[in-house]
Structure 1
Amino acid sequence: MSEQKIKTVVVDDEPLARKGLRTRLERHADIEVVAECQNGVDAVSVISKLRPDLVFLDIQMPGLNGFQVIHKLRELHQPIPLIVFVTAYDSYAIKAFDVHALDYLLKPADDERLRETLVKVRNYFGNQHQDEQSRKLVDLVADLTGDDCEEILRKLANGEAIETNPYPDVLAIKDGSEVTRVAVQDIQWIDAAGDYMCVHALDGMHIMRKTMKELEQELNPQWFVRVHRSAIANIRFVKKLVSHISGEYHLILQNDTELKVSRSHRDKVKAAMKM
């Protein structure tokens, strides 16, 4: 890495912040800023396409925040570049990141602080073994539950424990001698058919032998909610909740599938939809 430039991407929703950081970075001959991104969605696309070595990633952004960018890259099975987090909130005692990350910068970054960061960057790439300690925050963030970066920062700052996601990203569905791996995020809804569960995913329906209770315990309740004794829905695929004159409620999914909501599960469904 010492004989070639370090391909770098700057991600920040504030144009002046991006310009200021880029200007400072361009004073260093071994740093090549190959792209700027104004939001998290652009960042995921650019990082996936350009495969940079280093990313200066703003944490607080509308749409996808910095943590969610890492989530998305992991979901897309993209390699995670070296991350330096950038934030305007010194009140969060971001030095908590020192335990996990390569480094962080407070906006606006001054020249001396940036030089210190780049020394760490060069040492990282110059180390043949590339100390795995610098990846710990990336691994931690990628598995965090919830999307509230402010709450995550507060917990990191106060030294509070952060729960990682105990739920699987993939369901392994066995059918005779074959095992199909179904991405949990692609599951739209699940309903029961006798002793079997019908898992309706984007790639079609899969049959598995498991109880509804077992599946309910396996799936992340942040996204999956029991709507009936015999059905679970992924809230991310719900288009609307409809009430009928009879007093019954039905969920309408994005593919127009209609699921009845039983009276005993109605309040939980409403809470999941933040009604």
Structure 2
Amino acid sequence: MDRAVDHATLQANTTHLPLRALIVDDEPLARRGLEIRLESHPDVEIVGEYGDGASAIEALRRDRPDLVFLDVQMPGMDGFQTLRSIPTAEMPLVVFVTAYDHYAIRAFEASATDYLLKPVDEARLAQALARVREARSQRQAIDHRAHLLGLLGELSGRPLLDLDEALKPDALEQLRREDKLAVRDGGRTVRVDLSSIRWIDAAGDYMCIHTDGDTAQGETLVLRATMRDLEKQLDPQRFPRIHRSTIVNARRVVEMRPHTNGEGFLRLDCGQELKLSRTHRDKLALLL
């Protein structure tokens, strides 16, 4: 009876404690966007915002936050390397925030709590925070670390990992070598064979991924993302950027002909012609 009372009291007391959170993302606009969304959650207290892993690690050791919103890929020290530098016993609750469906899809499907996709959806953020609160109230830090390990194993494609293996600095690079790209096309998620992608171009706030299909015209998948988002997901040797608004599958290029002012035109095996801008002529060696 006493133990049950103690547990109930612990849950009640913990529920009213603020969630002390760090935001770690190299993009100032992304940090600001998450900060604005968190304003509607008064029990979340942002104790610091950082744009790189090294600063975040120092803050983690100093401030001991309950929760970290952590971008997966940052210059210098990425999210995995940042986690690898945190002693297991001091590991806070972690919610990854990233634009990279290609890296996230299996973990996202397995655990919507620990992975938020950019742009962050307010309903998903509320769901993640609800589960973070529950985990903390039940003092499930050990279970969370085990769950985080499983999540990292899913991301690396090697489920049976210990913590050091899961957080190896090259874990993200292994994911980039996968043969599929996971994209959300409207209300569905599609895993696209990289070899089937012909080219990718920008259309305002959206990206159009042109792929092989049942007809000669192929199929176009549309997702809300930026050119920078997709460049980070794809191997630049295989999918070089040839224009400010175009990425091409280098293996699909069959011909290049010069144009004026140092520009050129690329012809793909499907017959599509794309412009190679003068500023991206350094990619020519990858294309022919």
TM-score when normalising by structure 1: 0.50
Structure 1 distance, partners of 2:177, 2:141, is 25
Match of 1:107 in 2: 118
Aligned pair 1:151/2:173, yes or no?
A: yes
Question: 2:112·2:128 contact (CA, 8 Å) conserved in 1?
Answer: no
Describe the SS at the equivalent of 2:85.
helix
Question: 1:102·1:135 contact (CA, 8 Å) conserved in 2?
Answer: no
Structure-2 change in CA distance of 1:133 and 1:68 (3 Å): same
Match of 1:136 in 2: 146
Amino acid at match of 2:145: R
Match of 1:84 in 2: 95
Aligned pair 1:124/2:135, yes or no?
A: yes
Could you tell me how far 1:149 is from its partner in structure 2?
4.0
Structure 2 distance, partners of 1:155, 1:132, is 32
Q: How many residues align?
A: 155
- 1:185-224 maps to which residues of 2 (within 5 A)? none
Question: 2:25·2:31 contact (CA, 8 Å) conserved in 1?
Answer: yes
Per-residue Cα deviation, 1:236-272 (whole angstroms, up to 9, x for no partner): xxxxxxxxxxxxxxxxxxxxxxxxxxxxxxxxxxxxx
Describe the SS at the equivalent of 1:143.
helix
Q: Which has the higher helix share?
A: 2
Question: 2:25·2:51 contact (CA, 8 Å) conserved in 1?
Answer: yes
Could you tell me how far 1:66 is from its partner in structure 2?
0.6
Structure 2 distance, partners of 1:98, 1:9, is 25
Question: 1:55·1:82 contact (CA, 8 Å) conserved in 2?
Answer: yes
Per-residue Cα deviation, 1:143-163 (whole angstroms, up to 9, x for no partner): 1274124335458998xxxxx
Could you tell me how far 1:70 is from its partner in structure 2?
1.1
Question: 2:93·2:141 contact (CA, 8 Å) conserved in 1?
Answer: no
Percent identity (aligned): 45
Q: List runs of 5+ in structure 1 lacking aligned partners.
A: 159-275
Which segments of structure 1 move beyond 6 Å, counting only runs of 4 or more?
155-158
Could you tell me how far 1:41 is from its partner in structure 2?
0.6
Amino acid at match of 1:45: E
Structure-2 change in CA distance of 1:112 and 1:100 (3 Å): closer
Q: 1:43 aligns with which of 42, 45, 56?
A: 56
Match of 1:16 in 2: 29
Q: List runs of 5+ in structure 2 lacking aligned partners.
A: 1-13, 153-162, 181-288
Describe the SS at the equivalent of 1:105.
strand
TM-score when normalising by structure 2: 0.48
